Structure 1
């Protein structure tokens, strides 16, 4: 928001400099980022008259001008194409300056020149803000213009423009009057609002226009005013200068008035050519599917049903709150104008503006919310300005379709509550004074004040908002600094966070590289993972405003992200990859607005090891990942977990995959990716993946490992080879051995599996090494033999196992 300091002073007394005003406004919460001086760099540039023009004796493209600056005659040589005798122009005198140029006496092709005639560009001004015939040559002014007048005063450049950096909640400051109210409250000076009253002709608006709002949930109010006998022309110089200071390009008197009122009062307006409206009817409705409109920028735009339109019975005439239509544009032939002042739902305008990639000063204000009770006053103000400048005659009355009038909010404000929040004692009179300066109504009741908040302050809805107003106008710098009171706690990570960090560091320590992928995924990834249509992972949370179509659901599995990273690397000739990621997966929660989140670890390997804790060149396969899993569980003190063959997951190889369980609770899965899935991701080598439920692992972790001293008594080792059916799993045999060995069994390991000619068909030989040890005594062969025989008998009973000779 650009605010003219001169314009602002018409509404409020400002007894301080622009710099001090900027400082005080910023400290009160309305940040002023920059102060621009439009006339900076312009010095000793005055109006002057060309009395006589003579050819240059030594140059065909130059002329010699005799210039009257009101006090003396000067000779100036110029090559400007549009100079003529009797013309009033701007003269930069010797000793003066224009932006980037110091003016000195010069000799051009042998003829002395005492100054420079100025164009808009030489003064650092935008040529587009001037008539077409003056955009290329020197500027020209009416014949009666006073000579010797300072150019900065003439062009309105003797000003300071304050650039406000507003937060979205302060939409009330997107207008000159809104800023003036804020300045009045901050400085405690008088506020002078313009007297709004239009002189109307006898004709009434009754029967001249109808307004029908089909979607009141999107359009809360629509005001229409009619102006007759319109004469299109340029707006007054003072209005053009104010619009330019605000960053708005002047166009014509009617359009400039709508922009002026928007900048002054914060209410966007639109002007229709009344005679071009079919049946003189306005209909506010949603767009129909496939409906189109040619907007004022001559671009045809396709509309959708979520967009709000202003239409007549023949079709759209404007996109509500964003831009008008070309068919009802104001032209030089316009004689009657319909002025629109409306309130549109902010979210609707934001959505439409974003979808059409079309932003304007109007849409920026509608998006943040305007004062619904200011529509009629803004329409009257526009009629008043048009009538005062002789641009037209307003007819009597207005059409005001206001389905649900919105009253001012009344909020209770307790001084003791304000004192508690602010940390200082605030007197009731101080609170009353601040509320009054803000333009709020204040009445006392038994427990404090009842404050009536005007609808223009949509950011205030509760007592705490009023307390914030008291604090910022009291002055944050006037609130003394105090140390915080009460119990303090040390900031540190929870036990589960520490364990999660430990897991990540351990996996990285095993030679794997950590990756981070997006929490969004493409639904097509479910097909690439070979998941059936009814699979639970397909029940994903859909993102309402996705960054792209490829990222429109939240991930239910970590597989797509890590497989995509593998695919990208192999496509760039990177081999021997080992990646892991710790992140969250999301599943819809029944009856809840937010999805359930679960911290998950995903790890994938392919190729051979190159560096790290394993020897170089080792194949990274199922057992490589299994070794990392065992290391992790050992560090976390997780024991008695099981690896159970898994063939039901369609994303994994049915014969090379295992499910990780502890006490019947699933902890994850480890195995080779299904060849079809690998092919979908263009992976030509075997890929092994491990996915673990980190939250379950943390919950089941055995805490800190307790280290004991080295045993004082020797161990007894025995080997056992048994022949069992080939369907029997080593894990099942381990379980039976541990159950029957008792506490003296210190370790068990499988060292051999054999199937061949020496073993009968359908059977296999498995060799186990058993280590027995007691921390209290030396074991005898007799007691170890008893345990050994008990284990043999248990294996025979459970698996019909036979000892191999």
Structure 2
């Protein structure tokens, strides 16, 4: 953002030079990146009048000019072919050193003496983008109003330094010169004089019945205002306006375009002018573009639009790309007689997406993207109408059309003087804070009985960055002066750094999985909603409650993930497409679930440890590699539980999980008294899901609750001495229905053999010949042992028989 000191002084005279003002603004948080002096090297360049222009007698392409500078007559030889007698031009007199380093002195060209030089725009170091193509060629021709002998810097308005502001994203309000002036006024405590806006409506008739406005999408356009102007007298804008536009880096075009750009720079609100006679029925419709709709914009490029784009349309066609660029068909030209002027408020995210899509970034779109003040729509419109009337550009038709769907309200922030002082480490009085707020244009109201201690501040709508008391504290610090805040050292008790328990548990998880051959991956927390379909989660009786982003970067990142399976499967797909079919990966991340929809508070964020395996172990000389299957991953989980010293974990079948194979999936949990603690799940990926992701093989996955694991993990294990007395082993093979889980068998073994059975192990599972259909054989090895004595055969036999009897009675077991 470039702001001319001369323009600023029209609203507030700080009594400071450019360097001093830049320093104060920077110290107050409005960073001035650079102070630009455009008159350097122009101290001996003045306005000259060409009295005579004749051909050089000895050179076909040279001209001999007699130039009057008001105090002296110079003979100058030039090669420019655009000079004519009676013109006014920039003249570099002898002794001048131009911005490009060229020194001007008396010389001879083809035998004729030349004293000085006529200057082009390039030699004056004028920015090419701020001048017309004609002014870039040959000698710069000045207007007839230029004063002969006047320094060229003064004539072209180059004598006013320019402040180059480096604005932070939250201070988009300073993209308006009057808001920068407000800052200067607040910082220097100098009076602020804003333009008095009054409009004389001298046009014929009324806008009523001639212009209608309809907003079809209130989410993308909260306000749209229009004014009508007739008898347009198109021409150049006055020199003062052109110079201010050029100081901001914009090229003057014509009076109506210059006025809209001037108001945009001054008030921070973009405007757009349409040729009224080219708008069908005088009707403006603010709507989303139709799929495949086309619009030729002012740069003569045809744009292919979609419903993500907001357009300004009439009943027949789109006439502008809202907030980005107007349409060529309704462009204001020399033949335009009446114009319709637009001022509106558009959704910033919508404008940002559209500008990026069509590859157009302008001063207007930049402001709409950052968010303009909806309350200044009518004010900006009236300011433009005032300038149009004062400069005799057109006749202002009485009345305005203003469709204001979402009126802005001034924000009220409560504050305590003590709280702000505690935040800043200061002892600023309440009266001083109130003075700072008043200087910023904030209204202060003290709470009854708490004068100068506690109150409320009403924030003008143009300060959209002000949200709460912390922002008020920042304003106090800015105006009090950061340099005036005493330097203090931080205080606190020094402690030895160490990992917290949750950090320790996570480290053990990572070490265990990495040691088991896994690689850690990191995937996005945002996923494509289509993953829910692929995972069959939308086919459930109750679809999962998911959190959709209001402004996603793309459809690929449209929702917060309810499970981490989508990201791991995407990684598997990416690796499989590169012929990496043996994979073991894990991720420590978060899943998100709303407490309610629509969101009223932050969602539930749960830390999860997820893993995926597919293919087989790496090839090794020591033996055949083992395939990654359900039991392989179950073993990894048991190893992890052992590392964390978590005991008494139970497993149960979980055929209800939509994205897992109904016959090869399980949940694990434990019990704390009567409370069940779910730890997670594992299983083979459902064949339909494998097909949806275009994978092969039988991938297996798991997802464990990190919070539950952290709560159950033990820092120290339980140790016991080596047994002094011998043990004895007994085997049993029992036939049970397939639907009876092994955990029930082991629960009975633990109950009946608790005093003598030291441990047990399932070593064989068999289905086939000699086993009835629907049944299976489970073979267990039981170890009997006591720590205080040697067991007798009678004791072992009795306990072993008791266990078998209980299995028969409770589970209907048959023994082989």
Common fold: TM-score over 0.5: yes
- In the TM superposition, what are the counterparts of 1:101-120 in structure 2 within 5 Å? 101-103=101-103, 117-120=118-121
Deviates more, 1:309-318 or 1:511-520: 309-318
CA distance in 2, matches of 1:638, 1:671: 21
- Residue 777 and residue 75 in structure 1: after superposition, are their counterparts in 2 closer, same or farther (change >3 A)? farther
**Paired residues for 1:280-679 under 5 Å:** 286=287, 295-298=297-300, 323-341=325-343, 360-365=362-367, 374=376, 378-392=380-394, 394=396, 419=421, 422-440=424-442, 447-448=450-451, 454-460=460-466, 466=472, 468-482=474-488, 495-526=501-532, 528-529=534-535, 533-534=539-540, 540-587=546-593, 589-590=595-596, 593=599, 595-610=603-618, 617-644=625-652, 651-653=659-661, 656-663=664-671, 667-674=679-686, 677-679=689-691
Question: In 1, Cα distance between the equivalents of 2:258 and 2:339?
Answer: 14
Structure 1 residue 358 displacement after superposition: 5.6
Q: Which residue of 2 aligns with 1:30?
A: 30
Residue in 2 that maps onto 1:242: 244
Of 786-795 and 484-493, more deviation after overlay is shown by 484-493
Instruction: Give the 5 Å matches for 1:720-735.
Output: 720-724=731-735, 727=738, 731-735=743-747
Q: CA deviation at 1:154?
A: 3.0
State the shift of 1:3 in Å.
0.8
**SS in structure 2 of the partner of residue 231 of structure 1:** coil
CA distance in 1, matches of 2:306, 2:204: 37
User: Is the contact between residue 234 and residue 251 of structure 1 (CA under 8 Å) also seen in structure 2?
Assistant: yes
Change (3 A) 1:289 1:739: same
**Separation in 2, partners of 1:194, 1:800:** 96
Give the deviation of 1:70 after TM superposition. Answer: 6.1
Cα distance in 2 between the residues matched to 1:166 and 1:579: 44
Deviates more, 1:149-158 or 1:640-649: 640-649
Offset from partner CA, 1:574-597 (integer Å, 9 cap, x none): 343211123333445455625544
Relative to structure 1, the CA distance from residue 209 to residue 29 in structure 2 (aligned partners, 3 Å threshold; closer, same or farther) is farther
Find out whether 1:691 has 2:721 as its counterpart.
no
Paired residues of 2:207 and 2:399 also in contact (CA < 8 A): no
1:708 paired with 2:719, answer: yes
Q: Structure 1, unaligned stretches of length 5 or more?
A: none
Distance across 2 between alignment mates of 1:311 and 1:798: 79
Any conservation in 2 of the 1:720–1:803 contact (CA below 8 Å)?
no
Structure 2 unaligned spans of 5+ = none
Is the CA contact 1:200–1:396 (under 8 Å) kept in the aligned structure 2? Answer: yes
Q: Following the alignment from structure 2 to structure 1, what is the Cα–Cα distance between the partners of residues 528 and 372?
A: 39
TM-score (norm 1): 0.82
**Shift of residue 607, structure 1, vs aligned partner:** 3.7
Q: Distance in 2 between matches of 1:370 and 1:750?
A: 72
Contact 2:518–2:586 under 8 Å retained in 1: yes
Q: Secondary structure at the match of 1:742?
A: coil
Counterparts of 2:537 and 2:223, CA distance in 1: 52
**DSSP-derived class of the 1:180 partner:** helix
- In 1, the alpha carbon distance for the partners of 2:802 and 2:227 equals 103
User: What does residue 139 of structure 2 align with?
Assistant: 138
Secondary structure of the equivalent of 2:754? helix
Aligned 8 A contact 1:510 1:628 in 2: yes
Q: Which residue does the alignment assign to 1:177?
A: 178
Residues 579 and 47 of structure 1: CA distance in aligned 2, closer, same or farther (over 3 Å): same
How many residues are matched?
798
Deviation, structure 1 residue 41: 6.2
For residue 680 of structure 1, report the CA deviation from its aligned partner.
4.6
Distance 1:22 1:777, change over 3 A: farther
1:213 and 1:755 mapped to 2: Cα distance? 78
Partners of 1:540 and 1:466 lie apart in 2 by 36
Q: TM-score, normalised by structure 2?
A: 0.81
What is the CA deviation profile of residues 219-275 of structure 1, one whole-angstrom value per residue up to 9, with x for unaligned ones?
777666555554211112221111011122211012212221232233444444455
CA distance 1:73–1:668, change in 2 (3 Å): same
Q: Is 1:128–1:135's contact at 8 Å kept on the other side of the alignment?
A: no
